[in-house]
Amino acid sequence: MRDYKLVLVLKSDLKKERRDKVMADVKSWIGEMSESKTDSMGDRKLAYPIKKQKTGEYVVMDFSAESIPTDVDSKMNMSEEVLRYLLVRS
């Protein structure tokens, strides 16, 4: 198993139910993983507008997985709720 860190910038105006749905979608896109922890850093002002949004909610997720599917990149880009993301192997 390899360790990964995923940082998401979500739209700040999402309701809790929609935010939980987006996080469940992201976890399903990644596939089989053993999650160690998910932290929400709250709303932060963005350095520049992204998709006409001036603030975003930062979420950091640390997890372990065998591999990451190749289509995760396209699914993240197609999601309207995800403004930006960064996935790195640590």
Break the chain into its structural domains and give their ranges: 2-89
Which CATH superfamily, name and number, covers 2-89? Ribosomal protein S6/Translation elongation factor EF1B (3.30.70.60)
Given a cut of 80, whether residue 35 has pLDDT beyond it is no
Q: What is the DSSP letter of 66?
A: S
- Measured at the CA of 14, the angle between CA 13 and CA 17, to 5 degrees, comes to 155
Q: What number is the average pLDDT over the span 15-23?
A: 93
Alpha-carbon span 51 to 79, nearest angstrom: 12
User: How high is the pLDDT of residue 17?
Assistant: 95
Give the pLDDT confidence score for residue 33 in this predicted structure.
85
Mean pLDDT of 73-84: 94
pLDDT at 31: 86
Mean pLDDT of 19-26: 93
